[in-house]
Structure 1
């Protein structure tokens, strides 16, 4: 990004300036951007005017014109205002976990006419506010910047958000459960190489990678530590990839023990309650993409260091797995071989154990890493992330990825213990299948402003949900 030249005559002077940015030659032929301008004030703020609305944000936030810079990776773990539609060939890093902070993605939406209702919903577990208004849609991440983000939205004449429902309405859940069997099977049965990257690649990129040795892909479906925009990730995208033979690792990245969010519980529920709540949200996100019951969902628990963090992580992950089982889903846990996976071994027989482990151990060896656990632990229910943050190119498309090897064959009923034997002297592990009857849910009414007809009005969903990110309130 270039720097705008400011000329401040007095402390009270406000200067209107255009954002000056060097445009690489490769981007000269890109579509024209919508007109916008930036007004900078002396008091440490600036106003970004775009699509007829003015958003006031801190002066330090970057402003990025995505039409002029289509390869920009739209990330929600950096302070930025992104204008326009994200490119379908973003150059993103492999790492998909990052602490969300204040950022705005403002996109034109010609399907929303002047008479369309304005809807603003706060998806607390995603740390995201989604707005649908005449002529535009907004995805706003916040983290610890919630007040700043809401201030930017209300300054633009948009309503304060209402909290989104945290449960799937029964009718919606029933409709979403009728999903292609390829997707469910594609999470549960996979042997061979896979990769994961921060943002789901475009259809064109995935088609190019049909020539690669990979047959599985990790996709980030939700969580408030999901760093990248997921514009490419839709139900149609998943269905097409499944028909092309791809298998899936649906990753949910939320509360982290490493960053003390699970141990700092003075103003939040304990780790067990948060694990249950996160599993409920993961099911909502999975269903919105057409990933139905029976599928394997992964929790991304990054490495941690202290005993307190270890205890919190185990309580959280036990509750995560139990709640997924209650919804009829399988559970996987991704973590470091030295911390999260090692702790799962120490606590086996004492907690509700995941059906699959995904072991982060960058030893460069593309195998199931059987030495990371005892021989009887998850023998064919495991994945191994063996290399990270590397570039690979196939079909003329270059991506930054983490490399994985999968050895997963979940033929047993959901909830069956993942161990083939139990050593003498350890707690017994039930091998009976769990009760997979549908879980009763309720529709949470929308209160406050933004859903004029709570029974039928379309409301925004977090990015990466089904088409248009709209469901019933």
Structure 2
């Protein structure tokens, strides 16, 4: 983001002005806005989208100040997702011209951003009518095609001004201007951290540690059951991409559900465009023009494929970048620009980013830009080095301090045939210690009457709906919560709500049920070395640490001693606690809405 408005006194809605270095002069071609404002404009950029607005408009960076009140009674441009706890005045009445641009986390989030109203598609820079279908409330909602962003517009008596802003917009692919999560005073916490994934309510991250395999075509469900006799429990599945060699075959949403119930974890692989200097011939290459935009397009296609196969937000999708000639500097730049777009778009879509590549090409180049002011680092790496050593550590091209917290896979053996349970498959062998895909598990509601769904894992959370007895619910994960009968386990459903596991026909309604994973929410750490403590406070003993860029796998949040600007502490899936202030969690310095409070 190249605009970074410092929001002051947001509780009373004070108008703010961006710092001078955040404002760019109006570009040639921004004629419509300039004409309506007599030439007094400024151009700001957000995740590659350039918007020209009147110079008198306030520009609010919601990613840095999520409690800023989004108001339609004062002319302004809002950039980022509005926070759950905005500091709004008790009373505000009126309407003027306003534009809100935010990431589109999912189809549901996109619909929600429209408040139930029609959400129209719009290519940035194309003329549109904001009044079409919106004359009653004088609001319009647009999916900005190909950007991973959505726009909400409001207007009073000048709808033409909002139309001009959209018509003058351009998109140049995702960019960063340096700096990690913002601290008070407008400074940056650390260079290079990518924007965190926008995990929506119906999401969870799934972690697996053990052996896995990948193969070109998904084996039959019968073969996968036979292979439970093997030491493998993770399977790589090719979900799409212009260079994917094997079609769907057995792979379907039904196959994923069936195999997940057996206890298998999934590593989704997307084989998109390849390096123009790829060592293998006959591969569709990344074009030299706008490689970042091609990475965005690949991520959008991969998200659609993941949804088609029932892999929910919070899943990690791995881009397969085959080995290439690292002697070409221009080729390396093209690959990194492509992967930058890939990661940014996956994060905006609520998914995590993984990259598979050879140790001496893609992985080495990723390691070199681990600390970068322009590159959005992927969450997980998958190294191909066929040395027969099933360990993710001690790799010659990437230090152990990088991608250090359950963020690695190693393909340690190339194509060979193995037979388990009487079934033979040609596979590659993998050591997995990483975040995987998250699937849905369908179970029957076994309550005597309607089962109440709640906003969090406990009867104290607000009721938000009901499910009929005898109906099926899609369970994503399980979390500890308030005691109900003989259990404190709650099931998180695919719509983000919770129900007591006592009333769901899971294998064990008194405790956790394999293969359903525990609910996790993963965010990066942006300080050099974050202490893990035995309790939620600096007075508790240190029991570990997470290095810079490491992934914090959070179960829940609670209040503890103040660190930085926050009293929120995160409980990790290993039982330790960290200060939330030093993570990229989207709610900081307060609670993150999607993460439950610790019981």
Which protein is richer in strand relative to its size? 2
Whose helix proportion is higher, 1 or 2? 1
CA radius of gyration, larger in: 2
